[in-house]
Amino acid sequence: MDPLHLPRINGARLWQSLMDLAGIGATPRGGVCRIALTEADRKGRDLVVQWCREAGLEVRVDEIGNVFARRAGTDPAARAVATGSHIDTQPSGGKFDGNFGVLAGLEVMRTLNDLGIATRAPLEVAFWTNEEGTRFTPVMMGSGVFAGEFDAAFARAQTDLDGVSVGAALEAIGYRGAQPAGEVPGGMFAAYFEAHIEQGPVLEAAGLPIGVVSGALGQQWYDVTVTGMDAHAGPTPLALRHDAMLAAARMVDTVNRIARDEAPHGRGTVGYLQVTPNSRNVIPGRVDFSVDFRNLSQDGLDRMHAAMQAAFEDIASAAGVEVGIRQVVKFEPCAFAPDCVDSVRRAAAALGLPHMDVVSGAGHDAVYVARRAPTGMIFVPCKDGISHNELEDALPEHIEAGANVLLQAMLAHAR
């Protein structure tokens, strides 16, 4: 098809909606603080719901506060083609993380309304409760309940630091719905697409507006404790030390080496490290640190796990210290549905938008939804790869391009 004849979303309207929503919980430095199930979240939800109703969509809320807004299709038997993301933010979050995916979905509906295009299948735009996990854990709570990872009663019983439960917070903001989580009128989504800023630097470095997301890296996180013996830095010769800091430093370097051995998809990060007693002239007796391993295959994660265990034992033995390793988080790698990934790739190609296949290094609601429905994701670049930060930024032309790809991909499944 000639790309000039494809329907296009209204980039200016989408951008304005992003800026309007970002006004709720706006921070002085240009970011957004709209933490899940707060009063700010209620205001944000109310605004998006109002926009959905103005677009003629039918709004449902489920028992964990996920919101779905449906544009009817022409075939009563067709299952919905859905999109969505989240509108909750980190405490010093940005305007685009999550919000882009939700408002791009709304913009698809508005565009189809403007152009008078009916689809065979119903279309839905969803926003999922508490993706960020800032106030309540676990993260990706709403989509996790939808997918059956947690049950709704468990999620509603989670409490914040003040002892307020998710259930009470949902009541307080008026978003505890009646619909059982995971039920979709007419049957589970025929397809689900989520547009999102990349939250990484790959697309920007490659100079491309569209990332075709083939899947999400699996994650295995660990707590590591290295135990040596505190001693005076001065009187203790190197050979008689049990230096937990030295051993931990070598382990940190090894985490990086193990990840490099799994190029291009291996990731290894030590983000947290705590030294005890942490005094200038005392050889540290204990260091605690985190390891975050990611890879695209479970085999790869298994190799990383085994390599870490062997290397850490060797390092500890050489340094005269003990090491304990405890796995604390596991997310399996996720391959998105080839059919949906192809739809995203074809949509970008049809629109003449330069694109590349990428993987998601972070978790997204789409990773849980993929357990229930064929799923794909669309990434657009963000400035310097930064998110979860008030500096998070994206270019209007990339936002527009991503929403156009979403429109084409949804139409491919819904027409």
Q: Which residues make up the interface to its own copies (CB under 8 A)?
A: 198-202, 205, 217, 219, 221, 229-238, 240, 243, 245-246, 248-250, 252-253, 256, 259-260, 263-264, 266-275, 278-284, 290, 292, 294, 360-363, 384-389
CB closer to its own copies, 266 vs 376? 266
CB of 345 to its own copies, least distance (A): 20
Residue 229 phi, psi (nearest 5): -145, 125
> Whose Cβ is closer to its own copies: residue 113's or residue 236's?
236
Residue with tokens 């930064």: 386
Task: Tell me whether residue 167 or residue 215 sits nearer to its own copies (CB atom).
Answer: 215
Nearer to its own copies, 118 or 205 (CB): 205
- For the chain, the first-to-last Cα distance in angstroms comes to 15
* Shortest separation between residue 143's beta carbon and its own copies, angstroms: 17
The three-point CA angle 276-279-281 to 5° equals: 125
Q: 39-54 vs 166-173: helix axis angle to the nearest 10?
A: 50
Q: Is the dihedral of CA 294, 296, 298, 302 positive or negative?
A: negative
d(CA 339, CA 376): 8
Judged by beta carbon, residue 64 or residue 296, the one nearer its own copies is: 296
Angle at 31 between CA 67 and CA 129, to 5 degrees: 20
- As measured in angstroms, the least distance from the Cβ of 228 to its own copies is 12
Query: Nearest distance from residue 37's CB to its own copies, in Å?
Result: 22
Residue 169 CB, shortest distance to its own copies, in Å, is 24
Residue 149 CB, shortest distance to its own copies, in Å, is 18
Output 44 or 363, the one with its CB closest to its own copies: 363
- Taking the complex as a whole, the smallest distance from the CB of residue 275 to its own copies amounts, in Å, to 5
Comparing CB distances to its own copies, the nearer of 62 and 198 is 198
- Local structure of 247: helix, strand or coil: helix
The CB-of-108 to its own copies minimum distance in angstroms stands at 25
- Collapsing DSSP states into helix, strand and coil, what is residue 75? coil
CA–chain centroid gap for 240, Å, is: 47
User: What is the full DSSP assignment across 106-136?
Assistant: HHHHHHHHHHT---SS-EEEEE-S-SS-SSS
Q: Fill in the amino acid letter for 253.
A: D
Pick from 254, 68, 50: nearest CA to 143: 68
Compute the distance between CA of residue 229 and CA of residue 232 in angstroms, rounded to an integer: 10
Taking only Cα atoms into account, the Rg of the chain, rounded to an integer number of angstroms, comes to: 23
Which residue's CB is nearer to its own copies, number 52 or number 213? 213
Q: Give the E-state strand segments of 179-271 in sequence order.
A: 191-197, 210-216, 218-227, 231-232, 267-269
